[in-house]
Every structure is written in C-alpha cells, then in structure tokens.
Amino acid sequence: MIAADSSFSARAHGLVVASRFKPHPLLPGAHLQTIAPAFIRPRVVLAMRIERLETPDDDFVDIGWIGEHNLGGPIATLVHGLGGGFESQYLRGLARLLAAFGWRVALLQLRGGGEQPNKLPRSYHHGDTVDLRWLWHRLRALEPQTPIAAVGWSLGGNLLLRALHEEGAHAPVSLAVAASVPFKLRDCAEHMNRGFARVYQHHLLAGLRQIVRRKLAAGPLPDSVDVRQALSARSFFEFDDAFTAPLNGFRNAIDYYERTSCGAIVHDIRVPTLIVQAEDDPFMSPGCIPAASALAPQVTLEVSASGGHVGFVGLGRRGQLDWWLEQRIAAHLQAALGRAALAEDWLNGVAA
C-alpha cells in the first residue's frame, strides 16, 4: 500500500524543499556533472527482456523488463529523455537498483526511439503521452492491486507530468518521480541556443537527425515535413519547425512548445509526485523552476544548487563515485510504499 499523507489536503499548493545532494569534489559545476557520466560510468549490465507491444493505432512500442523474478512486487515504469532509450545509463542504473529492492521494472522506449523506426508518420515528443498512459492502463488491468510507480527524466519527466495531469485523480499509477524537467520548453530552446549550451544542443540535434534518417529509410514522410531543413537544422527551433511540429499536428515550433510544456499544468496533478531539479541545470535557466505556489498540493519539488542535467554525481562513503539521483529516487519509492528499511540504509548512510 502507498503510505498515506494527509498533509496534501491541508496544503494550498505544493512544497519546494532543499536537496541534500552534494557534488563529488572532483566534479564541481554544471558541465562536469552533466558530461562526466557519459565518459566515466561503466556500462550498467542488465538482464533485460524486450517485449514488443502492438498499439491500438496499429503501431508498436518496445518495453524492456527488468526484475521479472520479483513475482508480486511493485512495478515501476521508466521513461527516458530526448535521444535516450534502453541504453540510457541513468535509466539502467535505476532499473538495476529497483530490481535489487524487489521491484519489477518496465522501461518504455518511446515510439521511434529505437533503432527500428515506428510504422506511423509520427514520432515521440514532449507531449506524446498516449503510449505511457496506455501502458499504465494495461498494467493496471492486468494487476488491479499492484502498486505502480512512474519515473521520467528530462523529456520523459515533462511527458510524465503531462500524463499525470491528463489522467487526473483516477490515474492508474500510485506515485511518480520526475528529474531534470524542462518546465518551459520555449525558454529552454532559447537558452540552449546561447553560449556553451549550444554544445548540448548540437549533440542532441545529431541524435534527432538520426531519427529522421531512420524514418526516411522506412518510407516517405508527409509533405508538411521539411526534410532538408530538419537535416540541416542548427537549433531546436529550426528542427522542431521543420520536423516535430508538422509531423505531430502542431502549427510550428512555438505552438509545439506552448502546448506541451509541463510548467503550466503542475498545479493540477493529483498523484503524489517528487520532482528533483538542479538550479545549475545547463539545459535551462533557473527562472524555469516553478515556485511552490505553482505546484499542486501533491507535488514536492526538491531543488539542489548543483547537479547539472541528469547528473547528480556525488561522493560515496568509500570515496567512490556515487550515482546519487537513482539512489534518491529508489529510496523515495521504497519509503512511499512503506518498504523503508532499505531506503533508510541509504538515507542514513550514503546521504549522510
């Protein structure tokens, strides 16, 4: 059962609290926290079973299952960020930890995010909540009494929060965590087109162009898509104007950002939700982070001064690199389900 929190009904809005995260002394600053994991973290090895599910609209999504031996255990659905997928280390790290804690973990590879392009002329984007919500309802129908949690990072965090908003008070999930969330997409796109942030933009655009090429290889795209501009785009504005918006029913990039940003809907989430955010996230300005008054009573926003974007690399008790974010998420989920013993070990040890 989910641990009850009667304080929700007494609040006028959500909470903003200070994080206990402390960066590794050799990895100070937003950029080292963001970039270093890609180079210094060993690949997380998982025994994953990939299940291909046919969607109601005659397309498919792939689900990576971890910890299926934990029969009867709670289920966590994980959603990757932009350019991510089954190989994303942050996703694999949390999956391994949750499986060790007795969870079954379903990794949703968003439609078109894998090496094989999806069949329909559409692609995943910040507002593409359909597949996640469908997966939730499918799992709930199969196991009516099993606690189901949801976790998303970056784009996956934005998408998750929007899905919770759309499901309302009757969401099939019991609790949720989002991390490094781009609350205001237009502001983030503008921020990433300036200064050093353009390095991250360049890297992400390279991955998006690969998605375009894979879809082109599978068949022609609608005439509304400007393939040449998409493949030569030097900013998110240019790419989303040429590809994301026309392919997915938006007028242009601005319309896409305005209609899919989660910052406008976090006041209306009914599921207990933790959001973990760093003030120095190089993908956005600190002004993107909402105030407590903008949050629903069920939402707690935990903010650290540092941590970068999906970084949060700390110092372990024995001097080792500590992947703090996934430990924080796992501890929170454990505590919320009343399975606090392992969570307390972490809170009293790693975070001390």
Over the chain, what is the mean pLDDT?
94
CA terminus-to-terminus distance, the chain: 28
Q: What's the pLDDT at 104? A: 98
- Cβ-based neighbour number of residue 336 at 10 Å: 22
Q: Is 309 a catalytic residue?
A: yes
Q: What is the mean pLDDT of residues 268-278?
A: 98
Q: Which amino acid is at 152?
A: G
**Packing angle, helices 130-142 and 155-167, rounded to 10:** 60
Residues 6 or more apart in contact with residue 341 via CB below 8 angstroms? none
Out of 154, 174, 180, 306, which one is annotated catalytic? 154
Chain segment 18-56, per-residue pLDDT in tens: 999 999 999 999 999 999 999 999 999 999 999 999 999
Out of 131, 241, 281, 322, which one is annotated catalytic? 281
For residue 201, pLDDT beyond 70: yes
For residue 9, pLDDT beyond 90: no
Q: What's the pLDDT at 318? A: 85
Chain segment 240-251, per-residue pLDDT in tens: 999 999 999 999
Give the whole-angstrom CA distance, residue 246 versus residue 227.
11
Higher-pLDDT residue of 64 and 286 is: 64
Q: What's the pLDDT at 191? A: 97
* pTM, rounded to two decimals: 0.94
Q: Annotate the chain with three-state secondary structure.
A: CCCCCCCHHHCCCCEEEECCCCCCCCCCCHHHHHHHHHHHCCCCCCCCEEEEEECCCCCEEEEEEECCCCCCCCEEEEECCCCCCCCCHHHHHHHHHHHHCCCEEEEEECCCCCCCCCCCCCCCCCCCCHHHHHHHHHHHHHCCCCCEEEEEECHHHHHHHHHHHHHHHHCCCCEEEEECCCCCHHHHHHHCCCCCHHHHHHHHHHHHHHHHHHHHHHCCCCCCCCHHHHHHCCCHHHHHHHHHHHHCCCCCHHHHHHHHCCCCCHHHCCCCEEEEEECCCCCCCHHHCCCHHHCCCCEEEEEECCCCCCCCEEECCCCCEEEHHHHHHHHHHHHHCCCHHHHHHHHHCCCC
Q: What is the mean pLDDT of residues 128-143?
A: 98
For residue 1, pLDDT beyond 60: no
Out of 31, 126, 191, 309, which one is annotated catalytic? 309
| 329, 179 contact by CB (below 8 A) | yes
Give the whole-angstrom CA distance, residue 226 versus residue 56.
28
